[in-house]
Amino acid sequence: MTTSLILSAQEWRFALCGEGEPGELCGKGFAKLDENERVVLGPELRAIVQEYDAAVPEDVTGGGTALRGERFCMLIEPYPLIMDTLKITLYKDAYTLDEALAERGSSGDD
């Protein structure tokens, strides 16, 4: 399992702490409006946020953050094609995250 999400920094901040504007989270299928017209995170994004909150972040080269959670791991890094946007990649375990980090590091040495 390797899945990536592309979220604006604003959307990610809203998902993490409920501050700011939700951006396009509803349009992207990561949230919905409740009966009071408040934005509520969907189950997938809620699980990602819970795992993020429970893990210890580790800074990696290139401005990214790696997290090794209990259910899955993730790499959060700037998305170079769009300003103020993050790419959040989910990995099934620490081994696949470590492989991705090693590959990322070796490609930067070229």
CA atoms of 2 and 31, how far apart (whole Å): 21
pLDDT for res 63? 83
Q: Specify which residues 64 forms β-bridges with.
A: 60
pLDDT for res 103? 87
User: What is the mean predicted confidence (pLDDT) over 80-100?
Assistant: 93
Could you tell me the two tokens for 3?
């899945």
Number of folded domains in the chain? 1
pLDDT for res 110? 43
**From the CB of residue 75, how many other CB atoms can be counted at a distance below 10 Å?**
21
pLDDT for 79 beyond 80: yes
Global pTM exceeds 0.85? yes
User: What is the mean predicted confidence (pLDDT) over 24-33?
Assistant: 96
Which range of residues forms the domain containing residue 43? 2-108
